[in-house]
Chains A and B, each alone.
Chain A
Amino acid sequence: GENVEQHPSTLSVQEGDSAVIKCTYSDSASNYFPWYKQELGKRPQLIIDIRSNVGEKKDQRIAVTLNKTAKHFSLHITETQPEDSAVYFCAAFNAGGTSYGKLTFGQGTILTVHP
Chain B
Amino acid sequence: EAQVTQNPRYLITVTGKKLTVTCSQNMNHEYMSWYRQDPGLGLRQIYYSMNVEVTDKGDVPEGYKVSRKEKRNFPLILESPSPNQTSLYFCASSYGTSGGAGEQYFGPGTRLTVT
Contact = CB atoms under 8 A, between A and B. Distances in A.
B90 A43 contact: yes
A104 interface: yes
B38 to A, nearest CB: 10
A64 to B, nearest CB: 14
A93 B44 CA distance: 13
A105 B58 contact: no
Interface string A1-15: 100001001000000
B43 A102 contact: no
Contact of B103 (A49, A100, A104): A49
A45 interface: yes
Contacts, number: 66
B75 interface: no
Interface string A22-42: 000000000110101000000
B70 interface: no
Contact of A43 (B59, B96, B98, B109): B109
B45 A95 contact: no
Given A102-B58, A103-B33, A46 B103 contact: yes
Nearest to B100: A101
Interface in A85-115: 89, 91, 93, 95, 100-108
Interface residues of A, number: 26
Given A1-B59, A102-B58, A44 B90 contact: yes
Which of B40, B42, B96, B109 has the most A CB atoms < 10 Å from its CB?
B42
A34 B104 CA distance: 9
B45 A32 contact: no
A89 to B, nearest CB: 6
B100 A44 contact: no
Interface of A: 1, 6, 9, 31-32, 34, 36, 43-46, 49, 51, 89, 91, 93, 95, 100-108
Given A32-B98, A101-B99, A102-B56, 9 more contacts: A31-B101, A32-B101, A32-B102, A34-B104, A43-B109, A44-B90, A93-B101, A102-B48, A104-B45
